[in-house]
């Protein structure tokens, strides 16, 4: 089959939500629709609920599970859909941000009782950075939630995106009757239905039809009013605006009851983008380019401590990936081939011979990859857009066993390559600092160092507010700054200069005092 046909078949997306909004439930129902699983309950919820030491084993188990569920491929209406899982816990937010660089669109789940929550806002910021198209699914309509118009206003206000409802709820909570499809003009009546996929759709081409009153009783008039208001207030939905990330279509439903999902999935199939072009240094890589290219956005350690190999998740961006063919690892300037690349169809790992743009493949790795690495068919370019974010919690690494220094260094290097945390090295004095977005990472690092590298480390807390990358067109000013602030300047793993600010106030004053220096809050410094 031609490359273009393979590309046209594929849609690669992620589901994002604040924890508990219903991401796992929705994932499971989508897989049911796709026939990838047969029964409800097959998708494990790999969320981490507590941040206590007793969760260690839990984290380990979950890491195991999430290898299997990190990418879920399924087919629906002749399309090949790749669903990339994103951890909901805020301490793992960086992992989610990176995964979002590998998708072409996103479904955002909102809890209709809680509305827009903190993680929702953060995740949407990342989507807006790259104009990722977003479809919104407002979940739990069987519960006494907020007024749907208020929810839409809140979405627009807090997420800084225009919305357009494509379905509309008929009442809400205990009296929830179903949804009206504003595009197909039919009523889908709600029935609590947790395991099967059924559909009870009644076409009401004219809302004044008395059949509507028969179906939903006193809520018919409310629906008529609401629909009139919607048609008056909202512009007709334009696919182009959605694809440019300017408008988000909204659906209402109840994931646990399998309700309102088919409407959304059918729309998704119709409007969600196929694999898109990607920015690389100095050029745009089109999926249709004959030469293969892709980048690593996630690295997962093997659970078995006797096998130190890892799985690197690579998103194919152009051309055709082939098993056992030599490709070019750009950063290491090295030829590599892969004997057992895997795909993740229907939650199973399968050996693959070929992969196409939009696909995510797992490559066994013995330490050659780090996040952001690019593979090509010989060309020398790196993909852009896999950022590190300013960490907010900092600790100094203290070796707990001088006999195991080598193991500790190797462990720290590999774990930070995996993106578990960021490593900074003091320019004067060589101390090593670890920066993360959450406390949980430190526990994960300690645990994994012990179990995988047989090294012991302790952490000394450091009082910094934020790390930011610094650059300047004026070299003398930058040099002077680095000299004056030497106690607060460190290098990241790629030898970039990083300034550690003690407080928000210090950061602000420093930025004001040095207008010629740019302070960057992600490592993506362009």
Binding residues for GTP: 17-24, 85-89, 139-142
- The reply to whether 22 sits near ligand GDP by the rule CB under 6 A is yes
Residues constituting the chain: 526
Per the CB < 8 A criterion, the answer to whether 274 and 191 are in contact is: no
Coil, strand or helix: which one is 179?
strand
CB of 96 to ligand GDP, least distance (A): 12
Per the CB < 8 A criterion, the answer to whether 172 and 54 are in contact is: no
CB of 56 to ligand GDP, least distance (A): 21
Q: Interacting stretch for ligand GDP, rule CB under 6 A, among 23-31, 149-157, 275-283, 506-514?
A: 23-31
Q: Interacting stretch for ligand GDP, rule CB under 6 A, among 21-29, 178-186, 310-318, 377-385?
A: 21-29
Q: Which of 34, 73, 87, 88 binds ligand GDP (CB under 6 A)?
A: 88
- The reply to whether 24 sits near ligand GDP by the rule CB under 6 A is yes
- The reply to whether 100 sits near ligand GDP by the rule CB under 6 A is no
Closer to ligand GDP by Cβ: residue 25 or 416: 25
Q: Cα angle at 274 between 273 and 276, to 5 degrees?
A: 90
Sheet of 360-365: strand order equals 334-336, 327-329, 374-376, 293-301, 310-318, 360-365, 342-343, 350-351
CB of 15 to ligand GDP, least distance (A): 8
Closer to ligand GDP by Cβ: residue 88 or 357: 88
Q: Which of 8, 40, 45, 156 binds ligand GDP (CB under 6 A)?
A: 45
CB of 433 to ligand GDP, least distance (A): 32
Q: Which of 6, 13, 14, 25 binds ligand GDP (CB under 6 A)?
A: 25
Closer to ligand GDP by Cβ: residue 193 or 472: 193
- The reply to whether 89 sits near ligand GDP by the rule CB under 6 A is no
Residues from 119 through 148 that contact ligand GDP (CB under 6 A)? 139-140, 142-143
Q: Interacting stretch for ligand GDP, rule CB under 6 A, among 14-22, 312-320, 346-354, 449-457?
A: 14-22
CB of 19 to ligand GDP, least distance (A): 4
Closer to ligand GDP by Cβ: residue 19 or 64: 19
Neighbours of 486 (CB within 10 A): 13
DSSP result, 348-417: --EE-SEE-TT-EEEEEESS---TT-EEESS----B-----B---EEEEEEES-GGGHHHHHHHHHHHHH
Closer to ligand GDP by Cβ: residue 142 or 226: 142
Residues from 248 through 267 that contact ligand GDP (CB under 6 A)? 254-257
- The reply to whether 44 sits near ligand GDP by the rule CB under 6 A is no
Burial 183-196 (b: 16+ CB within 10 A, else e): ebeebbebeeeeee
Q: Site size for ligand GDP, by CB under 6 A?
A: 19
Per the CB < 8 A criterion, the answer to whether 176 and 141 are in contact is: yes
Closer to ligand GDP by Cβ: residue 67 or 261: 261
CB of 420 to ligand GDP, least distance (A): 22
Q: Interacting stretch for ligand GDP, rule CB under 6 A, among 20-28, 192-200, 426-434, 511-519?
A: 20-28
- The reply to whether 17 sits near ligand GDP by the rule CB under 6 A is yes
And the tokens for 280? Answer: 């690389």
Per the CB < 8 A criterion, the answer to whether 313 and 411 are in contact is: no
**Strands 134-139 and 247-252, how do they pair?**
parallel
From the list 178, 161, 181, the residue with the least C-alpha distance to 227 is 181
Residues from 281 through 340 that contact ligand GDP (CB under 6 A)? none
Q: Which of 3, 9, 20, 239 binds ligand GDP (CB under 6 A)?
A: 20
- The reply to whether 21 sits near ligand GDP by the rule CB under 6 A is yes
**Strands 310-318 and 360-365, how do they pair?**
antiparallel
Per the CB < 8 A criterion, the answer to whether 119 and 47 are in contact is: no
CB of 17 to ligand GDP, least distance (A): 5
- The reply to whether 19 sits near ligand GDP by the rule CB under 6 A is yes
- The reply to whether 47 sits near ligand GDP by the rule CB under 6 A is yes
Per the CB < 8 A criterion, the answer to whether 288 and 278 are in contact is: no
Closer to ligand GDP by Cβ: residue 138 or 363: 138
- The alpha carbon of residue 481 and the mean position of all alpha carbons in its chain are separated, in whole angstroms, by 36
- Non-local (6+) Cβ contacts of 200 within 8 A are 188, 189, 191
For residue 110, the cross-strand partners are: 138
CB of 151 to ligand GDP, least distance (A): 14
Closer to ligand GDP by Cβ: residue 23 or 298: 23
H helix runs in 130-260, sequence order: 148-159, 211-216, 219-233, 239-243
Q: Interacting stretch for ligand GDP, rule CB under 6 A, among 15-23, 119-127, 425-433, 438-446?
A: 15-23
Closer to ligand GDP by Cβ: residue 40 or 207: 40
378: burial class by Cβ within 10 Å (0-12, 13-18, 19+)? exposed
For residues 345, 351, 353, 359, the Cα torsion angle rounded to the nearest 10 degrees is 30
CB of 265 to ligand GDP, least distance (A): 16
CB of 140 to ligand GDP, least distance (A): 4
Which residues participate in the annotated binding site?
17-24, 85-89, 139-142
d(C-alpha 122, C-alpha 115), whole Å: 14
Q: Give the DSSP H or E segment for 469.
A: strand 466-471
Binding site for ligand GDP (CB under 6 A): 17, 19-25, 45, 47, 88, 139-140, 142-143, 254-257
């Amino acid at each position: 089959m031609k490359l273009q046909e393979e590309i046209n078949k594929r849609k690669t997306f992620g589901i994002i939500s604040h924890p508990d909004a219903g991401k796992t439930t929705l994932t499971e129902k989508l897989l049911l629709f796709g026939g990838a699983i047969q029964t409800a309950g097959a998708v494990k919820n790999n969320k981490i609920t507590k941040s206590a030491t007793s969760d260690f084993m839990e984290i380990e188990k979950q890491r195991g599970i999430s290898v299997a569920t990190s990418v879920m491929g399924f087919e629906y209406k002749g399309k090949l859909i790749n669903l990339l899982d994103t951890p909901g816990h805020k301490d793992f937010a960086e992992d989610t941000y990176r995964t979002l660089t590998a998708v072409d669109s996103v479904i955002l789940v909102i809890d209709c009782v809680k509305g827009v929550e903190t993680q929702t806002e953060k995740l949407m910021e990342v989507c807006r950075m790259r104009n990722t198209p977003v479809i919104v699914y407002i979940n739990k309509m069987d519960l006494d939630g907020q007024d749907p118009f208020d929810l839409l206003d809140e979405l627009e206000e807090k997420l800084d995106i225009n919305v357009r409802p494509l379905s509309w709820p008929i009442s809400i909570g205990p009296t929830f009757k179903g949804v009206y499809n504003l595009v197909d003009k039919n009523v889908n009546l709600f029935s609590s239905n947790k395991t099967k996929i059924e559909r009870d759709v009644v076409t009401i081409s004219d809302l004044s039809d008395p059949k509507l009153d028969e179906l939903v009783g006193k809520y018919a008039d409310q629906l008529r009013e609401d629909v009139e208001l919607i048609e008056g207030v909202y512009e007709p939905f334009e696919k182009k605006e959605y694809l440019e990330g300017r408008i988000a279509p909204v659906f209402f439903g109840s994931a646990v009851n399998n309700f309102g999902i088919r409407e959304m999935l059918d729309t998704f199939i119709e409007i969600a983008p196929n694999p898109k072009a990607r920015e690389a240094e100095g050029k745009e890589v089109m999926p249709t380019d004959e030469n293969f290219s892709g980048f690593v956005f996630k690295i997962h350690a093997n659970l078995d401590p006797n096998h130190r190999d890892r799985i690197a998740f690579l998103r194919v961006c152009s051309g055709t990936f082939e098993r056992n063919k030599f490709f070019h690892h750009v950063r290491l300037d090295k030829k590599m081939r892969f004997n057992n690349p895997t795909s993740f169809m229907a939650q199973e790992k399968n050996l693959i011979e070929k992969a196409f743009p939009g696909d995510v493949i797992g490559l066994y790795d013995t330490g050659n990859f780090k996040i952001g690495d690019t593979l090509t068919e010989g060309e020398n370019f790196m993909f852009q857009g896999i950022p590190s974010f300013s960490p907010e919690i900092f600790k100094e690494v203290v070796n707990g066993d001088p006999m195991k220094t080598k193991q500790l260094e190797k462990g720290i290097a590999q774990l930070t390559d995996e993106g578990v945390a960021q490593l900074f090295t003091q320019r004067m004095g060589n101390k090593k600092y670890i920066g993360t977005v959450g406390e949980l990472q430190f526990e994960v690092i300690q645990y994994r160092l012990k179990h995988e590298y047989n090294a012991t480390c302790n952490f000394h807390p450091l009082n910094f507010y934020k790390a930011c990358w610094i650059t300047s067109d004026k070299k003398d000013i930058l040099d002077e700054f680095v000299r004056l602030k030497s106690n607060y300047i460190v290098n990241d793993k790629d030898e970039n200069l990083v300034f550690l600010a003690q407080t928000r106030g210090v950061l602000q004053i420093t930025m004001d005092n040095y207008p010629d220096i740019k302070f960057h809050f992600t490592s993506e410094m362009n």
